[in-house]
Amino acid sequence: MIKTRDPSVGTNFLTFKKPSSVDTVTISSHIQTTLFPPLAHSYFNPRTRTPELKSLGSSPLGFRRGKPRSWITLEVFPDPIIPRPSNTGIVKRIRLENFMCHSNLQIELGEWVNFITGQNGSGKSAILTALCVAFGCRAKGTQRASSLKDFIKSGCSYALVYVEIKNEGEDAFKREIYGDVIVLERRISESTSSTVLKDHQGRKVASRKDELRELIEHFNIDVENPCVIMSQDKSREFLHSGNDKDKFKFFFKATLLQQVSDLLQNIYEHLKSATALVQELEQSIKPVQKELDELKGKIKNMEHVEEISQQVQQLKKKLAWSWVYDVDRQLTEQTAKIGILKDRIPACQAKIDLQLSVVEELRERICEEKAQIACMMEKTSEVRRMKDELQQTLSLATKEKLELDEEYRRKTNHIQKMAKHVNFLEQQIEEIHEQHVKNTQAEESEIEERLKGLQHEVDAANSTLTSLKEEESALLESINEGSSEITRIRNEVEEFERKHREIAYAIRELHQHQTNKVTAFGGDRVINLLRAVERHQQRFKKPPVGPIGSHLNLVNGDTWARAVENAIGRLLNAFIVTNHKDALVLRGCAREANYNHLQIIIYDFARPRLNIPPHMLPQTSHPSTLSVLHTENHIVYNVLVDMGDAERQVLVRDYDVGKAVAFDQRILNLKEVYTSDGYKMFTRGTVQTTLPPNKKQRSGRLCSSFDAQIEDLQRDESNMREEAQRHKMKKRNAEESLQDLQEHLRSIKRRRTDAERDLMSKKLALRDVTNSYVAESSSSPVSNVDEIHEEISKVREEIQEKEILLEKLQVRMDKAEAKANELKVSLENLCESAKGDIDAFDKSENDLIKLEQALLDEELKKSHYEGIMNNKVLSLIKDAEAHYQELEKTRLESCGKASIICPESEIEALGGCDGSTPEQLSAQLTRLNQRLQHESQRYSESIDDLRMLYEKKERKILRKQQTYKAFRAKLNACEKALNLRWSKFQRNATLLKRQLTWQFNGHLRKKGISGQIKVSYEDKTLSVEVKMPQDASSSTVRDTRGLSGGERSFSTLCFALALHEMTEAPFRAMDEFDVFMDAVSRKISLDTLVDFALAQGSQWIFITPHDISMVKQRERVKKQQMAAPRS
């Protein structure tokens, strides 16, 4: 037997007997009445004219002391009465020994209202602390000490708290044991503490904590509840607290709503366990139900054993003839296949012949074009040789002409210089004669003026020479810059021509890729390699797979072609083999095909296609490299995952998005990010790396069509050609400008030489005049004149000789100039005539390239059609005919074997084979034979015994189902009742919330204050709002900390009294309840407290340091004064 007990109710509400396989389970019929007692009745308060919840015996929510607390009863009081205090549970006497500041204190308490006053430090609060310690409160809970030994008075070894509790009336606690008084004694030492319960005669009754806990629960003494004992620390904390959740806890616990809620929750848990037990019982009959179904299947199977046997015989006959019919079907299909293949021969041969004619025509045109180009090359080479010879001859003639011009100018200048010297000598003779005639002061002045004029001419000539030298230097610098510019332009022309050749080669490659996709992943070398692999295929354990790129296609167009190329481009040319031996064989084939540095990947071909779970993929909406690729080969797919990490490479549109994905979002399972324009981004540890696009990297090899790329490259090729022509024109212009500069430089050099000679002649004239002026004064004029005449004669003779040589030099100059002009004209004529031949040569060369490309395309097409003819037409026809003959032989054999089993007419009577294949009929026959054999060996009993057993078990399980159905109905009723109790509990909680607000507002009105308490059971908060009468703004103070000290104390007191009316305890205590109050507030508070305490009916203990003379002397009010503290 299993008994489930509600510890708070104390009644067995479910009784289950553990069932055997067929035993019944009984649930007590009083489950609802025991599990769900009535919760509450309504009560109408005649004083406030509002509905309230009122408890029997002043217990909140109707909890009677000494009764099971799950029973909640509320009664209607017809008239408001002042209850008399019960003598049960009130404190009669308190005695303290060596406790805190008291050495020996004994205080008698009245049954109604007790005021204890005294100065600060007199030990008033120690009385409440002692009560808390006596009823089991921990030292930290009192907020006065950290451990119990701290309560021992200094210099003492122990402390004793002695409390006498009245135990009279109908709610007395074990009166037959304790009598009318219960003595509670708590002794504290340095190391231990003990609690003893004694009877009225002082005899020890119990010392266990369980007995004390039972006593506390019986009298409902919760010293930790501020509404039972509000110490000065709790008073201040409660006064200053702005925490709405703490206030809610006080309210929820004080009104016992917490206890009722726990009870209902406990009932819910018991109901849940009962439901689980019923479910377990319902599950227990499923095996029996399964046995019943199996028994039913046995009966049906035994009924069908003979039927299965007949089906087996029919299937054997059908199977025998199905082989014949299957061969007939294959013969028909093979005949149709042979006809289709033979129909392909004329069309394929016509295409091959057409391609042959086109290839021959292209070859003839190529031969003609090559012969024409060879002739042009010979002609242009002769023209270039002649041009070079003419340019060399022209340069020599020009050089000779320039040298003659220079010599002619030099001799002319020399003759002019000598003529000037003769004139100078003649002038000097005249001056000598004049000197002899005039030797006056005026003559000397004239000579000085002449010297000044000559000096001025020398300075002017020197200035001219300096300016010419500067101009010559500037020209030399310009010429050097022009030469550098020509060199740069020449390099650019060569670069454009190189790019033009590269683009033309790329266009030819793309045309080749368009014809054969495999060439995109290794060019002609991979074709040769594949042929070598085909020749050595018997040496491989399994044929190699590759190149990988030929097995891949882009899924969504060519958008991600460049990004995919950047991500896995290194794997596209690779081949895959299954072991190391095949890798060595493939490496040998690569050497045979002259394919160096072939990338070979060794991978297990037997491994199935990888299935990547979603949590291992990058958690992003952007596609991965693997998601934009499609392949039918699972080996290639696995290699992309294992070797290339294609599933962890994310593709994005542009740089900004890639940067955010790679570095900002911290995506799991992300390795690298590739953009559509070629950027690569990744993070390794804390290092963030971004690689720019590789301009030389090939892109678009996985594109579905190369037309767009070819068009772009052709456009680039045209641009490169135009740029090359433009730079060539620019180079010619620069060369012409350089020649002009060189000619100008030569002119400047001549002018500079003339200026140097002129300067020298002027300097000599100045020196001669100076010397002659000096000599005149020292030598005789006659001897000087004779010497000058002799010198003039010699100079004139020399001038005549020089003039004769000058005439001969002029003749040579004319001949050299004529020769140079003639050579220049010849060179220009030659260049003009050769320009047409060179252009024609370039055009022929381009035409030849196009013809060769066209020939390559046509030969590939011819090879394609020839391969189709040999591999897909003729060989297939041969194989099909051989297979047809084998099928005919097979039909004869199958027909003979089937005729032995049964004639064909019998099969036709059975409806034929119904379109089933021999494999299907054979599998069906195998299954039926196995089933027939299994059933025959399995069922030894008779079918009648099985039917009787089936009916017996069916009745048994039906009874169980009905019983468990009744259990389920009762549990549903219990659940419905629990829901009803929850709704009543929530309604009562709402009424208590209203009662709290009414009582709080009623107490506040005594001072002219209005307020409101808002309780939220959902948020578990309680907020207090107070509106002061003097507040002109009529605004409500939502936090009591916003009030003055007196207002806050009074508001807190009103809230505490409102809670007290809904709280049940035999005694209440409040310490320093009137803190911060002014005289008026204290007077109103004290009157309110006394009236409330007398009306409420329980014992009250008020402790205050203030004067209480304003409290009226009454029979039920007891005042006590504590002794003043000793200094």
Q: Dihedral of the CA atoms 684, 685, 686, 692 (nearest 10)? A: 0
The pLDDT of residue 444: 60
Dist. CA 209–CA 196, nearest whole Å: 9
Structure confidence by residue, pLDDT tens digits, 122-147: 888 888 888 888 888 888 878 788 88
Dist. CA 938–CA 946, nearest whole Å: 13
Structure confidence by residue, pLDDT tens digits, 373-414: 777 766 666 666 677 677 777 777 777 777 777 777 887 888
Q: Is residue 198 part of a domain?
A: yes
Q: Is residue 784 part of a domain?
A: no
Give the residue from 603, 600, 633 showing the smallest Cα distance to 522. 600
Dist. CA 847–CA 1013, nearest whole Å: 102
* Helix pair 305-437, 875-901: axis angle to 10 deg: 170
Q: Which of residues 394 and 994 earns the better pLDDT score?
A: 994
Q: Which of residues 542 and 513 earns the better pLDDT score?
A: 542
Cα dist from 7 to 1, 34, 352, 389, 985, whole Å: 18, 13, 102, 128, 20
SS3 label, residue 44: strand
**φ and ψ at residue 911, rounded to 5 degrees:** 95, 15
Q: What is the mean pLDDT of residues 980-985?
A: 91
Q: How confident is the model at residue 1044 (pLDDT cuts 50, 70, 90)?
A: low
- With a threshold of 0.85, does the pTM exceed it? no
**φ and ψ at residue 615, rounded to 5 degrees:** -70, -10
* Lowest mean per-residue pLDDT among 181-185, 506-510, 774-778, 903-907: 774-778
- Domain of 184, in residue numbers: 88-242+1039-1121
- How many residues are listed for the chain in this entry? 1127
pLDDT at 522 over 80: no
Q: Which of residues 849 and 235 earns the better pLDDT score?
A: 849
Torsional sign, CA 673, 674, 676, 679: positive
pLDDT at 1033 over 60: no
Q: Is residue 336 part of a domain?
A: no
Torsional sign, CA 108, 109, 115, 120: positive
SS3 label, residue 180: coil
Q: Give percent of the chain with pLDDT exceeding 90.
A: 6
Q: Are strands 12-16 and 88-99 parallel, antiparallel or unpaired?
A: unpaired
Q: Is residue 941 part of a domain?
A: no
* Total count of domains within the chain: 1
Dist. CA 1040–CA 1044, nearest whole Å: 9
Dist. CA 83–CA 1043, nearest whole Å: 36
Spacing of C-alpha 466 from chain mean position: 76
Q: How confident is the model at residue 181 (pLDDT cuts 50, 70, 90)?
A: very high
Q: Which of residues 812 and 283 earns the better pLDDT score?
A: 283
Structure confidence by residue, pLDDT tens digits, 469-503: 888 888 888 888 888 888 888 888 888 887 877 77
**φ and ψ at residue 47, rounded to 5 degrees:** -80, -45
* Helix pair 305-437, 286-303: axis angle to 10 deg: 110
In this structure, what DSSP letter does residue 185 have? E
Q: What is the CATH number of the domain that holds 184?
A: 3.40.50.300
Q: Do residues 654 and 675 lie in contact, with contact meaning Cβ atoms separated by under 8 Å?
A: yes
pLDDT at 341 over 50: yes
Q: Do residues 171 and 64 lie in contact, with contact meaning Cβ atoms separated by under 8 Å?
A: yes
Q: What is the mean pLDDT of residues 984-1000?
A: 86
Cα dist from 246 to 243, 1020, 1023, whole Å: 6, 9, 10
Torsional sign, CA 57, 61, 67, 71: positive
Structure confidence by residue, pLDDT tens digits, 567-594: 888 888 899 999 999 999 999 999 888 8
Q: Is residue 1080 part of a domain?
A: yes
DSSP, residue by residue, 640-662: HHHTT-GGGEEEESSHHHHHIII
**Which position has the token pair 């009877």?**
199
* Lowest mean per-residue pLDDT among 53-67, 624-638, 811-825: 53-67
Structure-token pair, residue 349? 């041969």
Establish whether the linkage from the previous residue to 547 is cis, with ω within 30° of 0: yes
* Helix pair 1045-1060, 943-1004: axis angle to 10 deg: 140
**φ and ψ at residue 435, rounded to 5 degrees:** -65, -40
The pLDDT of residue 27: 37
DSSP, residue by residue, 56-101: GGG-GGGPPTTS-TT---B---SS---PPPPSEEEEEEEEEEEETT
In this structure, what DSSP letter does residue 151 have? G
pLDDT at 245 over 90: no
The pLDDT of residue 239: 53
Q: Is residue 1108 part of a domain?
A: yes
Q: Is residue 96 part of a domain?
A: yes
pLDDT at 182 over 50: yes
Q: Is residue 651 part of a domain?
A: no
Q: List the beta bridge partners of residue 12.
A: 5
Q: Do residues 529 and 522 lie in contact, with contact meaning Cβ atoms separated by under 8 Å?
A: yes
